[in-house]
């Protein structure tokens, strides 16, 4: 079956005919393209949205893949922030999954946490956030200046403060602290690994995380989900 180009915002992922080479294009957002590094052109077995990946896997995922998701999103967030951009929120339609092997089964004996790299950089799968419609400029105080509306029919995980802002403020521009994305990314990781699509409103209720309780990932998620935006930390240690 021929590969159908993937469109996410202004981003297009296409495959060269009769090759395993994929190309990512987005002329509207040089900051997004810069954040993906050398992935503008890459060799892979397949590429798909996270929604499609989970559908194919029947939402059976493994811890190494979740750690890879944490690593890849963190690296891209860091690159965007350094370039004066931040992400308001994200969901399974905004992230592309790149695979390099026919099987999704993990055969790695261990995960090397040295320097928080979360293991071998060649581990499958790899993840890229590609929706430039959710990118906004950062001001000097760390606020995202939301000068355009979020896409209609958006299916994304949002922080409590972003949900509140969208309910109470209709005029543009709007602003929200840049660490709103830490909360959103944590929800995405939770959904990816544990298939929990809505976390409790009470931050003290963390029973849904019991399958990974007291692991490094558990502590990472709690740091990202801290109710006070300024106290959130995207750190895996």
Query: pLDDT tens digits, residue range 4-45?
Result: 999 999 999 999 999 999 999 999 999 999 999 999 999 999
CATH class of the region 6-231: mainly alpha
Q: pLDDT of 177-236, one tens digit each?
A: 999 999 999 999 999 999 999 999 999 999 999 999 999 999 999 999 999 999 999 999
Q: What is the pLDDT of residue 154?
A: 87
Cβ neighbours of residue 140 closer than 8 Å, sequence gap 6 or more: none
Q: Is the pTM of this model over 0.75?
A: yes
The domain limits of the chain are 6-231
Sheet holding 6-8, edge to edge: 6-8, 11-15, 21-25, 41-43
Q: How many helices (H) and strands (E) does the chain have?
A: 6, 11
Within 10 angstroms of residue 15's Cβ, the number of other Cβ atoms is 18
- DSSP-based helix, strand, coil % in the chain, nearest 5: 35, 20, 45
Q: What is the pLDDT of residue 103?
A: 59
Q: How far apart are CA 164 and CA 171, in angstroms?
A: 14
Q: What is the pLDDT of residue 128?
A: 98
Q: pLDDT of 46-72, one tens digit each?
A: 999 999 999 999 999 999 999 999 999
Beta bridge partners of 8: 11
Contact 26, 12 (CB under 8 A): yes
Does residue 83 register a pLDDT over 50? yes
Q: What is the pLDDT of residue 17?
A: 92
Q: Which of 175, 177, 173 lies closest to 148, judged by CA?
A: 173
For residues 96-119, give the mean pLDDT: 56
Q: What is the pLDDT of residue 104?
A: 52
């Amino acid at each position: 079956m021929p590969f159908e180009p993937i469109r996410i915002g202004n981003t297009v992922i296409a495959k060269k005919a009769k090759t395993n080479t994929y190309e990512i294009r987005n002329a509207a957002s040089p900051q997004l393209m810069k954040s993906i590094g050398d992935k503008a052109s890459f060799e892979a077995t397949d590429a798909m949205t996270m929604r499609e990946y989970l559908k194919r896997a029947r939402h059976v995922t493994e811890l190494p893949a979740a750690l890879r998701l944490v690593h890849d999103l963190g690296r891209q967030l860091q690159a965007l922030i350094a370039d004066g951009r931040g992400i308001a929120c994200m969901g399974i339609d905004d992230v592309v999954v790149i695979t390099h092997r026919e099987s999704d089964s993990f055969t790695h004996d261990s995960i090397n946490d040295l320097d928080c790299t979360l293991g071998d950089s060649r581990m499958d799968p790899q993840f890229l956030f590609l929706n430039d419609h959710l990118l906004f400029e950062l001001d000097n105080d760390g606020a995202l200046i939301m000068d355009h509306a979020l896409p209609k029919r958006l299916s994304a995980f949002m922080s409590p403060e972003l949900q509140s802002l969208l309910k109470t403020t209709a005029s543009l521009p709007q602003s929200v602290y840049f660490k709103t994305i830490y909360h959103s990314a944590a929800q995405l990781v939770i959904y990816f690994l544990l298939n929990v699509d809505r976390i409790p409103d009470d931050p003290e209720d963390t029973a849904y995380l019991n399958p990974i309780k007291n692991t490094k990932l558990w502590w990472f998620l709690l740091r990202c989900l801290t109710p006070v935006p300024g106290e959130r930390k995207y750190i895996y240690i």
